[in-house]
A and B are shown apart, each in its own frame.
Chain A
Amino acid sequence: MTISEISETNLRLAARRAYEVGRLEGALWRGAVAALFALPAFLMCGRTPLSAFCLGGFALVVLAGRIRGVAWEEGAHAGAVAGIAPCLLPALVSKLDPALCAAHVAGVPWPCALGGLIAGAILVLRGRTSAGLPFWAPALAALGFAASLGCIPAGAMGFAGLLIGVLAGGAPALVVRRALS
């Protein structure tokens, strides 16, 4: 191996390191932005350890997806975008009208169901069926963490509403997508 080959090998390693560092920087930035988006839900709808876990998990899924890249990144991104509605809608409702919030917690969790409806539609429309697990695992994880943040105060009923909403929103979107493709 000549000196120029050695120096080129070192340069290649340094370039690879620079690429990974740049990717990590971008991932940290995205994770921070994701946490910032979900923070109102954490602050308004119960600052419990479970909420903190969901907030951290959401940021971590977005961060890891960005580092890994390709389908993992696309999945985390789609899940995060879809999760914004069920994450923030219940918090927004409780802020605008506490009486509605009380009804949401005590009775029918309609903000969770509505958020789930929007999330399901977004996720299906942005989804890539060909990408398989690398896409859907981070997508569902990001959506799950974000939506849980908003629906934790509503308890089991909130999660049930969320699930029904996601299915109700996703099914017609899936039909539309298949019809168009």
Chain B
Amino acid sequence: MNPAGRSALQEELTALARGERAAFDPLFRRLWPLLRGFARRLLPADEADDAAQEALLRIFRRASEFDPARDALAWTFGIAAWQVRTHRTNARRRREEGAGALPEREDPAGSPEEQAAAGELAAALERALVELPPGDAATLLAYARGERPDLPGATFRKRVERALGRLRALWRIRHDHF
């Protein structure tokens, strides 16, 4: 800013601090590009305008407190710098909170390796069930689904144990490596 502009800023801000509303428009026209340029040097373009607007509103809100003995440009940039820093801190906090609010969701299907292993296991189990006597397979499927055939409880438990024993035996033969 050239000395003339700086001097004009001092006069306008002093006048506004005294309550001269006529100084508002020229001060607004002088401050807005100044603050926007300042914020654009310190922040990414998409955030700079927001920060500049916040700084502008804060400066006008505090304009009545301005002490004419102070340098208007330094006072203005002091507020703007504080606002830019606040904006930066808030943006970082929002990003951190955003990351914290979305914890890594466990994929119910698991990792691709786990999905492949589960698929292989299901296929092996299916083949083993096919090789079992139909009665044993039906008993195990009913047990797995939580169904209770029209049988006494003790009889059904014995049939389940017997079918599981045969399945284990068959499994050992077919899948020694498991």
Contact = CB atoms under 8 A, between A and B. Distances in A.
Interface of A: 8, 11-12, 14-16, 18-19, 21-23, 26, 66-70, 72-73
Interface residues of B, number: 19
Summarize B's interface: helix, strand, loop or mixed.
helix
11 contacts: A14-B53, A15-B56, A15-B57, A15-B60, A18-B58, A19-B16, A67-B19, A69-B18, A69-B64, A73-B18, A73-B19
B18 A19 contact: no
Contacts of B175: none
A22 B61 CA distance: 4
B174 interface: no
B75 interface: no
Contacts of A66: 19
A11 B53 contact: yes
Contacts of A68: 19
Contacts of A18: 57-58, 60-61
Interface in B1-48: 16, 18-21, 24-25, 28, 32
Given A11-B32, A11-B53, A12-B28, A19 B61 contact: yes
Contacts of B65: 22, 26
A21 B64 CA distance: 10
